[in-house]
Structure 1
Amino acid sequence: MVMGYIHRSPPTLKRQNERIPSQVTTLGGSATSGGSRDGHGNQSTTGGRRHHDTKMLGSGFLEFKLDYSETTNLTIGDVVSSEVISAGDYLWRICCYPRGKTETDKGEYVSIFLHLISDSKDIKTIFQVFCLGKDAEPSFSNEKRLVHVFSYAGKGIGWTQFMKRSILEANYVINGQLTLVCGIIVVGDNNIAVPSSEIGYDLVFLLKDKVGTDVSFIVKDETIPAHRVVLAARSPVFKAQLFASMTDATSSSILLEDIEPVTFKAMLWFMYMNELPEDDVFGDSPAE
């Protein structure tokens, strides 16, 4: 993923192509028309761009519909922009470069950027873009997302290499039209709350349900499955035993002696969860 930063600078576009309609359907805030701006977020002095009407649907996202069949007539650096859009009480514009923004990409990529239009600063924003597939359903296989603090009006953030045109044409262009779904989420404070990690519980669920287990330990008369990669990541002893040249590295089951099943299960729980299990997790207490 290549992320490009655009700052206010003299326009470098070869032309403002008037023949490619872009229809933007907003899903949040209010949309208003504004003066035409170039790909750098600056006011254009070479004439306006034609836009379709904007229809309000919901909150946070918008659909950017591009007449992709017309983009073959464009050159690198030509931009198709949305109307000025309101999200989070700020004004924004989406700028799409159907044949890429820079010459170095040889016209093989589509570039897309989000520009702040409002005269504001220190606006922390999450920008997300994904496509609608040929079944008209959202496709997240090539989704892009970033978090950025906009420091001044006109600044833009996005990707010079959002996606290869060949991938778009094969998977997302329907009857000559491409639909990009753009999410603009304004975070009200400079600190994004990061939820606590539940990876331990996720790993334990995989262990309990025997999903993806690839090694078993025979303890007394009980067979206990586990994941080699988890054990190797948590213990250098297991790493050497399961991935080195030892016999156990190629064995699907390993015999353990001098340990009780409940004790070994408690050890596995700690390795997966990074905490000791409650006394009743395995129905018995580990042997002393």
Structure 2
Amino acid sequence: MDHHVPTPTTASTCTPETAQGRHLFEVTGYSKHRGMGHEKFIRSGTFFVGGHQWSIRFYPDGITDKDYISVYLELMEEKEGSKVRASCDLKLVDLTTGLSASVHRTGPRMFNSGDVSKFAPQDGLFKKRSEFEASVYLRDDRLVIECIVTVMTEPKVSATKLPTKIEMPPSDIGNHLGKLLEEEECADVTFSVGGETFTAHKLVLAMRSPVFKAEFYGPMRERSTQLVTIDDMQPAVFRVLLQFIYTDSLPDMKDLVEDVNCEMIRHLLVAADRYALDRLKLICQSILAENLNVITVATTLALAYQHNCNMLQDVCLEYITSSDVMDAVAATEGYKNLKTTCPSALADAFEKTMKLLRT
């Protein structure tokens, strides 16, 4: 009599391993560099990504066509013939907003230090000179090149294993609470924010925020809390705040981060501090820290001091004092405001700079 024997199943997983780094190369006095001649270039400081050394070359007079400026990423390896699989994104920074726009993307491909493949792109037509000189990427005779390098290392393969557990579905309580907010069922409080109204549930708000808990259920609560007016907050910010309270998540982060200078994230951090939503406050700090640039750092630093964001303060001070951007930062509107609204931040930056000089 034949007996069915189950076929044993094993599994392993291969996942890509990458290392990514970003370098900002500021060039001042652009007009004074003109006239250097073809094949004459300015090199950025070297930087490391994925254990390999890289730099940016900028040719003010171009290399193959005088009507174009040329920009290259270069693999800088002392050992000839070193090969690295990588991709890169070369951008120009809009000096009016601090946002960057991609001009050239390469890869993933092999960079070989022993031949021309160590350069990206493979042609010199980076940006047409007439368009560049009339654009927001050149202001006060200054430009900033941003380069993001991603190095592909050896893929990671897990050990072969038997499936030992039943996969559990992800938590869906946020979906249910999100529907409760959308459908407004059993809502018992209405908010008026900047001319717009929002309905919500006192119990949910009190569960998530000690400020709302005190307002709705504390000893000093108002007798009538059916309508609550909130001043000094934009309706769009309050809408995102409510979504986080109910679902513990934010909408598409790409839309929030691409907002001019992360303005929405700043407003959201202020709202999180106001309602003691500590996790949201940390998330906002993390996003602002990851998107620092010359234009935004002074404004972000002032915000960090005003709302007791110690980790964000440290990141901003480190950015200002450990890179050659202080002159560019000092020329921004955010820095001028920082001098009047938060002089203690400048004092801390000065002390940090002096400590670095002494070491």
- TM-score, reference length from structure 2: 0.34
* Structure with more strand by fraction: 1
* Structure with more helix by fraction: 2
- TM-score, reference length from structure 1: 0.41
